[in-house]
Structure 1
Amino acid sequence: MSGHGASFWPPVWHDPSAERTSKPRQQGLTMVIDKGLGLHSFEDVMNVSADYIDVYKLGFGTSVLYPTSLLQSKIALARMHHVQIMPGGTFFEVACTTESVEHYISIIKSLGFTAIEVSDGSLPISKERRWQAIGLAKEAGLVVYTEFGKKAASFTADLDPLLQTLDEDLRAGADYVIVEARESGNVGVFNCNGETDRSFVRDVQISAGSQASRLIWEAPRKEQQVALLETLGLATNLGNIATNDVLSVETLRRGLRGDTAHRILDERSKATCE
């Protein structure tokens, strides 16, 4: 059981679900998106929330806009707190249309990044180049996150292509596959109003079998987070979580917020009565 207050509060208060595991976690990952925090704000995020963050993404192409010394300070601080850190997938796409994949990997490694996002949401790349990037990144010692989906407003996730991408990317060496929803949360498994297709995500979980635990569902909105945790379980991997929503998501995972607390308490009450 993890958390800054774990030794002070009674354990049952700290995690009513009794399911949350400590880092490094294999399931129940929280992937955070940073749209441009300064160093002091980032320090606050790490000091308050690092126990609950598994991977930290410097969104889009923001990495290249930081002063290099500040960027390296953020990377070093994330590593000190045992948080994986990577540039956004769009930056990978832009960089790899102008330079080789090897050059991109070499640069982010030299800066200290510990993970990479390989995607083609905006700029398509061939499957062969995608798999090559995965393999090269693994050889370089990076944790590899790939992404399924497009950033176009019309993108809706389909079962067979998602399952095929999941299987192929994992075979190529990827650690996890992210299901695209954008930071707006209105594509992929969500409709234009951000509502979750619960039936679809349930079908994905069933059809993917053991590989389902290697999916990360982008879910920037609270109602989406609740829907996915209720449908797929509290150990569901969630991505595109805002920096100021990390503790909020953690309360949902543990049953420390009304949206999930009632379910956990109801299940505990039934178990006691049986």
Structure 2
Amino acid sequence: MRIAELDNWHQLLKDPSGKRNDDRNKGLGKTMVIDKGLGFHAFTDFVQVAGPYVDFVKLGFGTAVLYDTVLLREKLKLAASQGIISMPGGTLLEAAVQQGTINSFLDTVCSLGFTGIEVSDGTIEMDRIRRTSIIKEGVKRGLTVMTEYGKKAAGSQIDPEELAFTAHCDLEAGAELVTVEARESGVNVGLFDERGQCKESVLTEVIGKVGQSGRLMWEAPLKSQQADLMLQFGASVHLGNVAPADALALEAMRRGLRSDTFQFGYQADFSDYMI
């Protein structure tokens, strides 16, 4: 048997759920990876291995301004070649707002080759008018705009009514998705408690106000959080702040190829088969 034939896994082994390709065609189950400082070779390895299963890559916090320009352009070019939307961290946009340099920020984002931005106010205060204006300006410039709800301070809570209002306004202004803040740690912020466990009562309130919205992305850096949210919403839930090294494992979980979500897989009638 030729080597090429050995690579042709049965479709039910590649996707026991039988739903993943259809979900991705519908824009469901998006994954956002946070890059906290990968070099070009590490970034290339990440894209080669997990690129087909990643929709967004965010250069975390304000790290984008610290890169050598040539290196940064090469990373962004590689992401774009694989259809991955790249964006600087929302904290950098907040710094631009704070410093009064938002137009320069957007000019530079576009000239460098970023294809998206994250509009957030996790550290600063930003009124509704300014937030809407920035979203619309990003869309006008041809960028994919993600927004973020929630504060970064330890112990920050989700207000379900405020989240529902913010999401409505952001989406009306042209945002693609609204991300629920959990930082890169996923501990003691937003939906998660001091141990990184999901606050079920808060999640229930959010669902009551927002519904099981396909326009929300949940930051969930920990495997247990990813599994909890999938068991609540299904494999088509949007998940963010995923570590590059975890992106492939997350895709396996979405398909029912990990024990945490093994029940997502199709159950064959073994009487139909003979070994």
Scaled by the length of structure 2, the TM-score of the pair is: 0.91
For residues 122 and 170 of structure 1, the distance between their equivalents in structure 2, rounded to whole angstroms, comes to: 21
Aligned to 2:196: 194
Calculate the aligned-residue CA RMSD, in Å.
2.1
For residues 79 and 99 of structure 1, the distance between their equivalents in structure 2, rounded to whole angstroms, comes to: 29
Query: Do structure 1's residue 93 and structure 2's residue 73 form an aligned pair?
Result: no
Further displaced range: 74-83 or 20-29: 20-29
The residue type paired with residue 242 of structure 1 is A
Structure-2 change in CA distance of 1:52 and 1:106 (3 Å): same
In the TM superposition, structure 1's runs of 4+ consecutive aligned residues that sit over 6 Å from their partners are none
Question: How many angstroms does 1:25 deviate by?
Answer: 5.3
For residues 204 and 116 of structure 2, the distance between their equivalents in structure 1, rounded to whole angstroms, comes to: 28
Aligned to 2:21: 21
| SS at structure 2 position matched to 1:157 | coil
Gaps of 5+ in 1: none
For residues 146 and 215 of structure 1, the distance between their equivalents in structure 2, rounded to whole angstroms, comes to: 10
For residues 53 and 26 of structure 2, the distance between their equivalents in structure 1, rounded to whole angstroms, comes to: 10
| SS at structure 2 position matched to 1:86 | strand
From the CA coordinates, give the structure whose radius of gyration is larger. 2
Question: How many angstroms does 1:269 deviate by?
Answer: 6.5
Aligned to 2:56: 55
| SS at structure 1 position matched to 2:235 | coil
Aligned to 2:181: 180
Query: Do structure 1's residue 223 and structure 2's residue 186 form an aligned pair?
Result: no
After superposition, give the CA deviation of every residue in 1:208-264 in whole Å (9 maximum; x if it has no partner): 247x10100000001000000001111000000000000111111000001111x22
Query: Do structure 1's residue 125 and structure 2's residue 126 form an aligned pair?
Result: yes
For residues 256 and 124 of structure 2, the distance between their equivalents in structure 1, rounded to whole angstroms, comes to: 40
Gaps of 5+ in 2: none
Is residue 147–residue 175 contact of structure 2 (8 Å, CA) maintained in 1? yes
Aligned to 2:66: 65
Further displaced range: 118-127 or 139-148: 118-127
Query: Structure 2 matches for 1:75-86, cutoff 5 A?
Result: 75-86=76-87
How many residue pairs get aligned? The number is 264
Task: Percent identity, please.
Answer: 44
Aligned to 2:264: 264
Question: How many angstroms does 1:206 deviate by?
Answer: 4.5
Aligned to 2:107: 106
For residues 27 and 208 of structure 2, the distance between their equivalents in structure 1, rounded to whole angstroms, comes to: 19
For residues 86 and 241 of structure 1, the distance between their equivalents in structure 2, rounded to whole angstroms, comes to: 15
Is residue 96–residue 104 contact of structure 1 (8 Å, CA) maintained in 2? no
For residues 70 and 60 of structure 1, the distance between their equivalents in structure 2, rounded to whole angstroms, comes to: 18
After superposition, give the CA deviation of every residue in 1:136-184 in whole Å (9 maximum; x if it has no partner): 0000010010000000002011211111111111111111000000111
Query: Do structure 1's residue 213 and structure 2's residue 214 form an aligned pair?
Result: yes
| SS at structure 2 position matched to 1:41 | helix
Is residue 149–residue 181 contact of structure 2 (8 Å, CA) maintained in 1? yes
Query: Structure 2 matches for 1:37-48, cutoff 5 A?
Result: 37-48=38-49
For residues 190 and 48 of structure 2, the distance between their equivalents in structure 1, rounded to whole angstroms, comes to: 33
Aligned to 1:156: 157
